[in-house]
Amino acid sequence: MAHTEIEITAELVRGLLHDQHPDLAGLPLKLGARGWDNQLWRLGDDLAVRLPWATLSADALLRKEHEWLPALAPHLPLPVPVPQRLSEPSERFPRPWIVTTWVPGTPADRAPATRAAEAADTLAAFLTALHRPAPEGAPTGRDRGGPLADHAEPFAQALASATELGLLSDPDAVRAVWEDAVAAPDWTGPALWLHGDLHPANVLTEDGTFCGVIDFGDLCAGDPACDLAAAWILLPDGAVDRFHAAYQPVPDPATLRRARGWAVLKAFACIFIGEAGVHGRPGGKRTWGPPAHAALRRLTATIHHPSSPAPKK
C-alpha cells in the first residue's frame, strides 16, 4: 500500500466539492469506509465520494469505473455504485476522484449471507446478467480473468506461507484442488464482463441475503470462472450447487474446476489480510479471515489425500 501524502478529511472533501461540484457541497458528509484503493465518503442520502488514497493504481481504476459502469449498471439486478461525476486533479488534491450513487447494505464480511437459497439465487441472477460478451476495447484484468496457470508461482508461494504460519488444516487438500483446477481446459468462449473482485467486503447484505455489489475497480473481460469462484467465498454451506443450477448458462465441468482454483486464490488473499488484521498490521482486516477459511473448508471437504481426485463442485 502507498498512502497518499495528503490526509483525507471531511474538510478536504468538502473543499473539493465546493471547488468542482458546488451544488453538492452543502450535503451532509461522513466517512463511509477506508478501502484497499479508495476512501468512501457518504454524501447526503443517495451519493458517495470515492477518493484514491492507498495505491498508485487507484486513479486508473476510478477512471475505468466512470467510463464503463454507467452502461452496465441498468442491466444488473442488484444496486451498484453508478459514477455520476468525474473530478479532475487540482492543487487541493492531485488525483482524480468520483461522485457515485450510494449503495445501502452491510459488507458480507461483517454480516454474511445466511438465507442460503435466496443468496444463491440472487448471486446467480447478478452474475448471469453481468457475464455478457464484452465489446472490443473492454479493459483487461489486473491478473484477473486470464489463464489460471499464470498464477502457479503465486499459488505456490501462498501455500508455503500459509502452511508455515499454521493457517491451513490440510495443505495437501488445498494443493489437490488447485492442481485439478489448473489441469482443466482453458476458457475458449468470448471474453465476458467480470466484476473481478468478488470478496465479502465488496458484496452487501440485508436480511440474510445480498442487496448490492460495490467496488468495480477490477472490472474487466475474461473467463467467467474468475467470478464464479464467489460461490465458495460468499455463500453459506450447502448453497453452491443451487447457485450453479441457477446461473445461466449452466457452467460446464471445466469452468467449475477453474472456478475452484480461483476461489483458492481469493481465499488465500483474504486469509492473509485477515491474519494481518488479527495482529494489527497495516492493511489488515480481521473480518476477512473467517469467510476465507470457510471457503477453503468447503473446497477441500471431499479431499483427503494428495492423490485423491478433486471434486468438480
DSSP H helices, 29-109, are 58-72
- Over range 220-240, report the average pLDDT: 97
Inter-residue contact 292 to 274 (CB < 8 Å): yes
Tens-place pLDDT, residues 115-138: 999 999 999 999 999 999 999 999
Whole-number Å distance between alpha carbons of 24 and 66: 18
Residue 199 CA neighbour count, 13 Å, CB half: 27
Q: Which three cell numbers stand for residue 193?
A: 464482463
Least confident of 129-138, 139-148, 199-208, 273-282: 139-148
Structure confidence at residue 310 (pLDDT): 46
Structure confidence at residue 42 (pLDDT): 97
Tens-place pLDDT, residues 169-204: 999 999 999 999 999 999 999 999 999 999 999 999
Tens-place pLDDT, residues 77-125: 999 999 999 999 999 999 999 999 999 999 999 999 999 999 999 999 9
- Over range 233-261, report the average pLDDT: 97
Tens-place pLDDT, residues 23-62: 999 999 999 988 878 999 999 999 999 999 878 889 999 9
At residue 4 the predicted structure's pLDDT band, cuts being 50, 70 and 90, is: low
pTM: 0.93
Q: Which three cell numbers stand for residue 182?
A: 489448473
Backbone φ and ψ for 99, nearest 5 degrees, come out as -110, 130
Residue reference for cell 461525476 = 85
Inter-residue contact 63 to 17 (CB < 8 Å): no
Whole-number Å distance between alpha carbons of 266 and 261: 9
Q: Exposed, middle or buried, 29 (CB in 10 Å: 0-12/13-18/19+)?
A: buried
Q: Which three cell numbers stand for residue 21?
A: 461540484
304 has pLDDT over 70: no
